[in-house]
Homo-oligomer: A and B are copies of this chain.
Amino acid sequence: MRKKFTDKQTKILDVAEELIAKKGFEGTSVRDICSKANINVAMISYYFGSKEKMMSYLYQYRVQRTKESFSEFAQTIKEGKPEMQMKEIVNYVISLLFKYSYFHGFVTQEMRSLDNVKDDLLEFYQTCVGRLDEIIKRGIVSGVFHNAPKSEDILTMIIGSTLFVIRNKNFYEMYVPANNDAQYMKEAEQKLKNSTLLSVFALLDYDAD
């Protein structure tokens, strides 16, 4: 069941997400969030019970939207050929992460209260693995793929590489000519999609030509 938030709550969550992504959970004070969101310092406790619970809602909120978004996407590629589906899914996941990167694994600290919502993210990952499994199987059957690598390893490669690129701009930007940050992000995303697809298809022994 999906928790509904008021506009004000959503506003708080958005601001909180941004700040937490930048400075971490402990590094972001309730006062920071509230002053940026132009609300009273008491509001976070008032709306969410506590800072930590707010975090929990925030996580849940993001993961749920990610899952819904993926679910919609999965519909749109239902009919395609395996190689096209694979390409679409790789591109989709990378795009998704570039949009909402910061909350994937932004909980590096031991936050017990998040254990249950962490399962939500896990579920999403498993859905992805399941979908990849299907595509690979169908590709093998139809003869376009000649190898069947493990889906969890493919997903790991996709997500891991993407998060690394996002979080290590100063490294990757050396190989991505760009004038500004926005352009860099666009170019980096494209470069990553290309190289990742290359890897995936190489693993599947798919002949693109």
Residue among A118, A152, A162, A164 having the largest count of chain B Cβ atoms under 10 Å: A164
**Distance between Cα atoms of A174 and B155 in the complex (Å):** 13
Indicate if the CB atoms of A24 and B26 lie closer than 8 Å.
Answer: yes
- Does A156 count as interface, using CB distance less than 8 angstroms? yes
Known contacts: A161-B157, A167-B108, A198-B149. The answer to whether A126 contacts B174 by CB under 8 A is yes
Binary contact readout A119-135 vs B (1 if CB under 8 angstroms, 0 otherwise)? 10010011000000000
Option from B27, B152, B162 in Cβ contact (under 8 Å) with A175 = B152
Residues in A191-206 with C-beta less than 8 Å from chain B: 191-192, 195-196, 198-199, 202-203, 205
Known contacts: A26-B24, A108-B108, A160-B161. The answer to whether A118 contacts B170 by CB under 8 A is yes
**Distance between Cα atoms of A73 and B1 in the complex (Å):** 52
Residues in A166-208 with C-beta less than 8 Å from chain B: 167-168, 170-172, 174-175, 191-192, 195-196, 198-199, 202-203, 205
Residue among A161, A162, A174 having the largest count of chain B Cβ atoms under 10 Å: A161
